[in-house]
Structure 1
Amino acid sequence: MAAPLDDATRSIIKACVPALEAHGVAITTEMYRRLLANPDIRDLFNMSHQKDGEQPRALALAVLAYARNIDNPGVLGAMIERIAEKHVGLNILPAHYPYVAEALLGAIAHVLGDAATPEILDAWGKAYWFLADVLIGREKEIYQSHEVAPGGWVGWRPFRVGRRVRESETVTSFELVPTDGKPVMRHVPGQYLSFRLDVPGHGSQRRNYSISSAPDGASYRISVRRIPGGVVSEWLHDSVHEGTELQVSAPAGDFVLGGPAASPIMLLSAGVGLTPLMSMLDTLMAGESAPAIHYVHATRTPQTEAFGQHIRKLATTGRVRHDVFYSRETALETAEDAGTTQHAGRLTPAWLKAQARPDTVYYICGPDGFMREMVAVLKAAGVPDAAIRFEFFGSAADAELAA
């Protein structure tokens, strides 16, 4: 248990909030510049999030939230859990934390200059290690749970691609089976896998991909959208075939399907954001007493719609109501299956508002803008915050969603 921060330290951290609001991104950008100069540390990060500035913005939001809530860091429990899960997926260890401390304090001194007094740097050193100790403790618990779980493991485990399936013109699925032939840990629907990949010409890369299959104890499936110019996504689509070996860490993530409940469920996705929801949907359908399920998906065209036929087949059973929106279509000529309604045009706030019910639990995944809009509509319709659950693809650099 981390020792509480003293009053003087907390007072200094709170006084730094205006400086973080003005210079937070500059500080975290400088911190990453220093941190990533070490090749052993650099290999732990998704470098695409560095190039587009997403990671520094996300960290700046997290640091600001920490400073604003330094008197009661317990309110940041969800953020801390998400960070801990991400760290475990990437195999972050206690030995890595001193590097971050050195880079962060050096960045604060560099950006704030003379304003970064010894007292301020000392306070931030204490605040950093308080949070680091909390994270290290939680990460130890998660590692231990992975180690003792049936089929679980710690560190990187070799898997091979047992099968690949083209799901749409942009999405391909990869079924992964362990090379040792032993069982795998049953994931909680909604979780993701982290990968350590050696991409020719680009060196070591780290990526997270949601598991798109229901847990079976034998394999996992990920479904990846090809991103033009994407280092890893293009390599997976073009060069990874059946038999290719990949290094994988155990399932992680806190965006998960809740326990058994009678509450109706709406699964709400856009684009490749449907991947964790597919795991949830198939798991719910495998249960004997599934709640009422409404699956709503937005995509550009029928050609970009992954898993469309699979969801339609489930909808014909009467256990799932299915709405799909094609944002780039102005008219539809395809026949509808029972239980499925097709819409030409984008999923609008007005349509969702008409569907919103305060007794329903909502699981949302898609681009940040889509999620921000959907979350705002549901809250305005009176849906309790606890019933709105969403997943970030990337680094949670959207201030409204991070809050």
Structure 2
Amino acid sequence: MENNTKKQRLFNLPETKGNFMIKGVVKGTKKDNFYTEKQTRTGKEMRIVNFGLEYDEGRDLYIGFTGIEQEKVYFYKKPEEKGKKGTSQPVSWANRFKFAEDPKNEGFRLIGKNLGLTKVTNEKGEQVNDKKVLTDYDACAEIRNNLKDGESVFVKGSISYRSNRDDKGNIKRYKSMEPSQISLCAPCEFDSEKFKAQNNFNQVIVFMGIEKEVEDDKETGRYVISGKVVTYSNIEDVEFILDPVDEKQKKLAMTFRKKVKPYWALKVSGHVQASVQVEEVAVDDGWGEEDEMEKVSTPVKREYIVTGADPTTIEKDLYSKEAIEEAMQKIRNANKAEENYGSDSDDSGWGDSNLGEADEEDEEW
């Protein structure tokens, strides 16, 4: 969701960034929830899009975002000399298109979503993506008008984190993929011998520990990496999965257990994947005793599977226990005040890196 006005930051710890890249076949554009228009409580127009990407045969991940009318948008112009600051220009919402079209504003680029959902012919006579940079609000309409089931697209963006308490006081935590680019790409051919799924992520975390995963009082054979991520306004608890499916991944698990200390920061990488949840259901087919059959339940569970870490990114001192606790106390104090007053790839032991190199679909913008 767009938000160009941020509250003053409560603490000075650098944010720990996370990114993703996914290539897949579009699904779900004919569903009722593919595109929605609403009004916010303050009367602003809001648009929402939500569509699926089949990144591997039978495996879907869903991408969605919200766009809301804003008072202003922002354009940015790169500096002419290295080391100099660029120029940021606020523009009224009503003039966002006129500003971009005015020749005197050449070099300014809207801060928004990068889209390439239709084709145009370039000077060489080649069919290329028609690149557009739009606000989240306008991007929703562009996706509604042009994205179609069966098309292959490349999506990249950042991972965001949030949490809240339900009516019973339980904390619910969410990871979401916020796209910054959605572009048509070469077809995904799942049956090709050369096909390799691209559903990658990386994330800088403040490591807290690693334990064996337990479900229904039984160990699953996997590990849970627990950590913290530092956002602009909060510090969120997060968990990632490590699945020791081969010797390299077993070695990675041991590396985390033996070489990484709590409150050290480092970048992990891996795959975002959908785990199909299957339940047993009774089917009465009219022929006597019911038959127990398997049924896939939806929505599927999204998991972030760590397959590698970068030892060169280890930071031992910046996110110390004292620094984290001090920041969290400031957050608690601010939240309490609001409640009171109201407020609106080698075998080094570090596994595989999965997001460092952009592929042919990672277009320059």
TM-score by length of 1: 0.22
Choose between structure 1 and 2 for higher RCO, CA contacts under 8 A separated by at least 6 residues. Answer: 2
Structure whose residues are more often strand by fraction: 2
TM-score by length of 2: 0.24
